[in-house]
Amino acid sequence: MNINIFLTFVISILLVIFFMFKPMDIKKQHFKDVPLFELSDFTMYELNPEGLTTILLGSKGTRYADRYTIKDMDYTDNSKKYIANMISDFGVYKNEIVKLTGHVVYVREDGLTFKSEKATYNKKTADVISNTKYIAYLNDNNVIGSYIKYNNISKKIYSKNVIAKYQLKEGK
């Protein structure tokens, strides 16, 4: 076989491959929100010069660049006058704001308790807000409403569509 025929054959095969076959279209996947780490039996303590300010517990915790997401969240804030504890099915802790969803229970050490499906707690202002139906308890008194904003420092409650059962104390 002549070398010219062989080279012509190889070049023609290469040209057919070059023009007939298209390169694979490989799509790149960009991950925008990648967890940094994930822990079972998650526990986080926040300390400052005065001592322990926050305890954050959960059955599973995931740390992202800007937040924590916690399953079965148990959050305790010890930074104000009264200790406040919040429990929920799921929570997000970001920039000192805690967003709780699913069977939220807020308990303060003086006995105030309220239950709701969603709540947001701002650690800086000590406000807890729930835009869904709630029921609040303090001793034998209870309040039902559709919105609650409670400040842990001033002990003031703002609420909408309130139905209250209140036990009056006898005067002397």
> What does the angle CA 162 – CA 168 – CA 170 come to, to the nearest 5 degrees?
170
Task: Give residue 97's pLDDT.
Answer: 93
Place of tokens 């504890």: 85
Q: What is the pTM of this model?
A: 0.74
| Amino acid present at 104 | V
CATH of domain 37-165: 2.60.450.10
Q: Is 125 left (phi over 0), alpha (psi -120 to 50) or beta?
A: alpha
Task: Give residue 172's pLDDT.
Answer: 65
Residue 66, helix vs strand vs coil? coil
What stretch of H or E contains 31? none
| Amino acid present at 120 | T
Task: Give residue 1's pLDDT.
Answer: 60
Q: Note every long-range contact of 134-140, with CB atoms under 8 Å and residues 24 or more positions apart, other chains counting.
A: 136/112, 137/112, 137/113, 138/111, 138/112, 138/113, 139/111, 139/167, 140/167
Tell me the C-alpha distance between 156 and 75, whole Å. Answer: 21
Tell me the C-alpha distance between 168 and 93, whole Å. Answer: 39
Q: Along the 172 residues of the chain, how does pLDDT read in single tens digits? A: 688 888 898 999 988 888 887 777 777 777 778 888 898 998 989 888 888 888 999 999 999 989 999 999 999 988 777 788 999 999 999 998 999 999 999 998 877 898 999 999 998 888 899 999 999 888 888 889 999 998 888 878 888 888 888 777 776 6
